[in-house]
């Protein structure tokens, strides 16, 4: 069959999986829309997105507007005459003027089972909430935030000790599979999108560094989820003297009779810290500018006994 003229909008690795799947299936986008190059690394050099790097390798035209409200941007997109725009973790809101350009509208691959966890950080939100499962949705985009009708969803179980980084990769793969499975039916109109139940919607806002602070007055199980949810970005953290220490692995254990934040023990099995409910065993830590180390190595470098963590 004749493939649709697709305009692809995406930026990070999550979007890369869908772009690779489309190309492998024979759907070559007429252009790729991605965020402008950003400073990255210690040298803060301007770095292209993963989506841009692949598009450049394959000779696919790349567009990187800083904003989409510019009439010149709309005119350029209109000149491509796309049948469909596929949007995956693009990172900019699409104004109505852009949503109206593709003949078959704009299709979004979203990393949750909508209407749960609309917004920018659905993967972290699902882990923080202790959800047993999550998934991906194919949504017809509207002007509202992830509120459009849904064509299809797929679910998977969240592992008890699964990090956001690990879940991200599984959802990216699941999203690419779901996209290919239903793309033809969406384009020919045989698959009809179903409106979301607004009463069941929840919101997952953008993540900032302060969201990842480890408040020892909270239950240990919540802090375990926090460590998992922010591995790899931005990394859960706490203060030790004047250093911000990142925690990459931890597990909730039975409670101890000690004030929240006090180090109960530090040895080969890790560093145990009392929490508001239960205790948390820290097993992988990182000092600023240093490599990650096992907590036992960390405890060998710094005396952790009878310390209270901030």
Counts for the chain of helices (H) and strands (E), in that order: 8, 17
H or E stretch covering 228: helix 220-229
CB-based contact 51:10 (threshold 8 Å): yes
Nearest to 148 by CA among 195, 99, 92: 195
Span 52-105, pLDDT tens digits: 999 999 999 999 999 998 899 999 999 999 999 999 999 999 999 999 999 999
The C-alpha atoms of residue 95 and residue 80 are separated, in whole angstroms, by: 18
Span 34-53, pLDDT tens digits: 999 998 877 788 999 999 99
The confidence score (pLDDT) of residue 292 equals 96
- DSSP state, residue 235: -
* pTM check: above 0.75: yes
**Domains of the chain and any CATH numbers:** 6-204 (3.40.50.170), 209-301 (3.10.25.10)
The confidence score (pLDDT) of residue 1 equals 53
Span 262-271, pLDDT tens digits: 999 998 999 9
CB-based contact 62:31 (threshold 8 Å): yes
Please state at what angle helix 13-24 crosses helix 164-188, rounded to 10 degrees: 40
Residue 293 has pLDDT above 70, yes or no: yes
235: left (phi over 0), alpha (psi -120 to 50) or beta: left
Mean pLDDT of 146-170: 98
Helices within 25-105 (DSSP H only): 50-58, 71-79, 96-99
Q: Which two tokens stand for residue 180?
A: 């290919």
Nearest to 271 by CA among 216, 211, 228: 216
Largest CA distance in the chain: 70
User: What does the angle CA 117 – CA 234 – CA 12 come to, to the nearest 5 degrees?
Assistant: 65
As a whole number, the mean pLDDT across the chain is: 95
CB-based contact 280:272 (threshold 8 Å): yes
Nearest to 137 by CA among 146, 150, 125: 150
Nearest to 273 by CA among 232, 203, 230, 214: 214
The confidence score (pLDDT) of residue 41 equals 75
The confidence score (pLDDT) of residue 178 equals 98
The C-alpha atoms of residue 88 and residue 62 are separated, in whole angstroms, by: 15
Mean pLDDT of 193-204: 97
């Amino acid at each position: 069959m004749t493939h649709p003229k697709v305009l692809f909008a995406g930026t990070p690795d999550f979007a890369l999986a869908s772009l690779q799947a489309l190309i492998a299936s024979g759907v070559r986008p007429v252009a790729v829309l991605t965020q402008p190059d950003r400073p990255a690394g210690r040298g803060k050099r301007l770095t292209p997105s993963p989506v841009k790097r692949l598009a450049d390798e394959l000779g696919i035209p790349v567009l990187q507007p800083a904003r989409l409200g510019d009439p010149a941007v709309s005119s350029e997109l209109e000149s491509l005459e796309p049948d469909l725009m596929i949007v995956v973790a693009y990172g900019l809101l699409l104004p109505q003027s852009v949503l109206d350009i593709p003949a078959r509208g704009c299709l979004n691959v979203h990393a949750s089972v909508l209407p749960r966890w609309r917004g920018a950080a659905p993967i972290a939100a699902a882990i923080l909430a202790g959800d047993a499962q999550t998934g991906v949705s194919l949504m017809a985009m509207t002007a509202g935030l992830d509120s459009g009708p849904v064509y299809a969803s797929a679910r998977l179980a969240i592992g008890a000790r699964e990090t956001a980084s690990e879940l991200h990769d599984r959802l990216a793969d699941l999203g690419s599979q779901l996209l290919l499975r239903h793309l033809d039916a969406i384009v020919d109109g045989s698959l009809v999108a179903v409106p979301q139940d607004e009463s069941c919607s929840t919101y997952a806002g953008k993540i900032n560094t302060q969201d990842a602070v480890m408040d020892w007055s909270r239950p240990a199980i919540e802090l375990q989820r926090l460590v998992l949810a922010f591995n790899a970005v931005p990394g859960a953290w706490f203060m030790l003297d004047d250093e911000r220490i990142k925690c990459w692995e931890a597990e909730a254990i039975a409670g101890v009779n000690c004030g929240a934040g006090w180090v109960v023990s530090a040895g080969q099995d890790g560093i145990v810290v009392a929490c508001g409910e239960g205790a948390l065993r820290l097993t992988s830590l990182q000092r600023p500018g240093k490599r990650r180390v096992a907590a036992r190595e960390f405890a060998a470098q710094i005396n952790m006994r009878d310390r209270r963590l901030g």
